[in-house]
Structure 1
Amino acid sequence: MERRVPRVADLAPLMQFKKPQLNPRTRRLEKALTIEDLRRIAKRRTPRAAFDYTDGSAEAELSIARARQAFSDIEFQPAILRDVSAVDTGWEVLGAPVAQPFGIAPTGFTRMMQTEGEIAGARSAGRAGIPFSLSTMGTTSIEDVAQANPHGRNWFQLYMWKDRDRSMALVERAAAAGFDTLLVTVDVPVAGARLRDKRNGMSIPPALTLRTVANAIPRPQWWFDFLTTEPLAFASLDRWSGTVAELLDTMFDPTVTFEDLAWIKAQWPGKVVVKGIQTLADARRVVDVGVDGIVLSNHGGRQLDRAPVPFHLLPEVAAEVGNDTEVMLDTGIMSGADIVASIALGARFTLVGRAYLYGLMAGGEAGVDRAIAILSEQVARTMRLLGVTRLDELNAAHVTQLVRLAPRQAPLSQPL
C-alpha cells in the first residue's frame, strides 16, 4: 500500500472543532439522548428520598416493571417505499388540537423533585403545544399554573376527598381559571404501600436527618434551591407534617362510587376524563356514565402491585369503547416508540409522568423542554420508519404484542 504525507487541504475538512458549551446545565442536557439518560442525570442530582418518590412504585414494584416490559415486548411492522418527507404528529384530542400524541400527567409534590416544579412543566407544555395536568396534590396553585400557561391547555386532576365541599371548591377554581378538562382519578381509595418512601422516611416537607444531610453533601444545588425558595407546601390544601401515605389515607374518600362520578360530571362545564381504568368491565361502566374519555392506568404502579398492564388492556378496550369515548393510556412510557405503539393499538392520547419528572430533576424547565423534545423526535422518527405520515394512518397492523405473561386461564369479566 502506497503511503504519502497528508496535505493540509485534506485535513482541513476534518478539523471541525465544536465550540465548547460553558453552561453546565445546557452541557449535560445536550448529552441526554433518551429519557433513561435524563433519569441517570436526575439520580445524580437529586437526594435519594425525592428521587425514590418519583422513581419508585408500590411493594415489589412489579406493576411498573411489567408495564415497561410490555412496551419492550412489541414488534413493529413497517411499510417501505412511502413518502415520509413530511410528518404530522398532531391531531384533535377532546375537541381541541395537540401538537403531539402525549401530554404531561398530573404528579404530586412536584416542587420537591425540583423547585421550578409545575411552573416549569406548564410553560414547557405550552411551548410544545401539549396539555399540562395539575394534580390535586400539586405544589403550585391552580391560578399560578393558569398564569404560567395562559394560552395552552391546562387540565386539572381531581381526587375526591372525604370533605366533598373542599373537593368541589377546587373544581370551581379550576373552571374559573380556564382549565378545559377534569381528570377524575379513581384508583386511590387508600394509599398504596410505597416501600421506598417508608424506608427513606419520606415526609412532606423532607425531614433533615443525619442520613438526609449526608445524602445532600454531593447534591448542594438541590438543597440550595430548596432552602432559598418558597417553602414546599400543597397549593390546594393545608400544610401537612407527616408521611405521604398518612396524608392520602387521611384525605381520600374510599366510599366514592359510580353515582358520585355522575354527580362530579354534572358539576364540571368542560370535558371529563376518568383516570385509573384497569378492566374492560369498568371501562364500559364509566363510558355509560357519559364521560368524554378514559385513561387506562394503574397509577404508574404506585397503588396495587401486580395490577393489569394498561398497554395489554388497550386493544380490547379500544375495540369495545373506542367509538364511544376517547381512550388514553399512561404507565410505563419511556420513549416515543412506546407512544406510537399505543396510538397504533387504539389510544387517542398518552400521558407521561416520570419521563417529564426525570427531565425536571435533570435540569428544571430546560430539562422538561429536553424530555419533550426527546419524545417528540422519537415519535416523528418512529412514524417515518413505519412508513406513516399522520397519526390516523397508524393501526394495529403496525404493532405485534409479543407474549411473555399469559394467564393460565381466562380471567373473569368482572371481579366478584
Structure 2
Amino acid sequence: MPLPLYLLAVAVFAMGTSEFMLAGLVPDIAAGLDVSVGAAGLLTSAFAVGMIAGAPLMAVLARKWPVRTSLLCFVLVFAATHIVGALTENFSVLLLTRVIAALANAGFLAVALSTAATLVTADQKGRALGVLLAGTTVAVIAGVPGGAVLGTMLGWRATFWAIALLCLPAVLGIVKGFPPRMRGTAQGASAGSPLRNEIAQLAKPGLLLVMVLGSLVNAATFAAFTFLAPIVTGTAGLGELWVPVVLVLFGCGSFVGVTLAGRLSDQRPGLVIAGCGPMLLLGWVALAILAAQPVALLLLVFVQGALSFALGGTLIARVLYEAVDAPTMGGSYATAALNIGAAGGPAVAAATLGTSVSDLGPVWVSSLLVALALLIALPFLRVVAPRVGQAIR
C-alpha cells in the first residue's frame, strides 16, 4: 500500500478518536452540562447526521479543489470545532460544534476515499478501505480509551483539547504526503463525469442495496458501542476505570476484523458476509444475556468488535465497487452509508434506556438491526457480493 494512504489513516485516527470518544464520556458530559444520559448520547447522532448531510455536500464542494487544499481545510475546521467545544458551557453549542465537526469529517472522508481508490489498483479497493478504517480502529484501541482515562482524571473537556492537538500531526502528514497541485479522482474526473450522471448512480439497485446493508450493520455497531459505559458500570458492576479497558478490547477486535476482512473483501466478499453475519447476530444476543458476567462481557466485546468491523467494512467496500461509475461522489456515498447507521443506531438505542430493558436496550437494538440486515442480505447474497470483477447493473 502506498505511503500517502497511511498518511490519510493518521488523519482518520484523529477524527475517529473524536467520533468514538463519546462512548466513554456520555455520563460525564450529561452530568457536567446537566442533561440526561440519553440526550448526551445524541451528540453521537448529531455528529452522524452532519456526516450524512456533509458527505455529498462537501464532495460536490471539493470536486475542483486540489487534494491537499481540500484535506487541509477540512482538518483545520475540525480542530477549531473541538477548541470551541472544550470552552463552551452550553449543551446546544456543543451539539452545534459536533455537527460542524462532522461536516468537516465528512468532507475529509469523501475526498480521502475517492483519492484512496486512485492510489491502488482497481481490485484493491477493499484493502485500501481497510487501511483507512485501521486508523479508526487504532482510535478505538488507543485514542478513545485514552480519552476516557483523560476524561476521568481531568474532565471531559480535556479530551476535546487533546483531539485538537491530535490534528497537528495529521496536518503535517497531509502537507508532506501530497503535492500542492495533486488531483485525485474527485478532481481529475470531474470534467469528464457530469455531476448529474454520478447522482443518477444512486438509482442502481446494487448500490442502494449495499448502502442499506452497510447502514444497518453500522447502526447495530454504534447502538451498542455508544452506550457501553453504562453497561460496564451498571449491568456488570465494574468501576469507571474498566470503561477504557472495554473500549480497548472492542478496538483490538475491530482492528483484527478490519485487517482480516480487508484482505478478503476484494476477492471473497460473500464468504465474509455469510460467515460473519450470523455470528454477529448471535454475539449481540449473547452479550445482552451475559453482560452481567464481567468475564463474558470482556470476551464478547472483543469478538463483537471484530465481527462488526469485518462485516461493516466489507459492505462499505462493496459500496465503493458499485459506485465505480461515480468517481467524484463514490466516497461520499460510502461515507453516508456509514453514518446513516451511526445516526440511527444511537437514536433508537437511546429510546430504550428508560424502558424495562434499561442499560441492555441498546444491545437488543443491535441484535434486531443485524437480524434485519441478514434477512435482506442472505437471500440476495450473489447480488450483494458478486464474483470478483462483477458489479450489479
TM-score normalised to structure 2 length? 0.27
State the structure with more CA Rg.
1
Greater share of strand: 1
Greater share of helix: 2
TM-score normalised to structure 1 length? 0.26
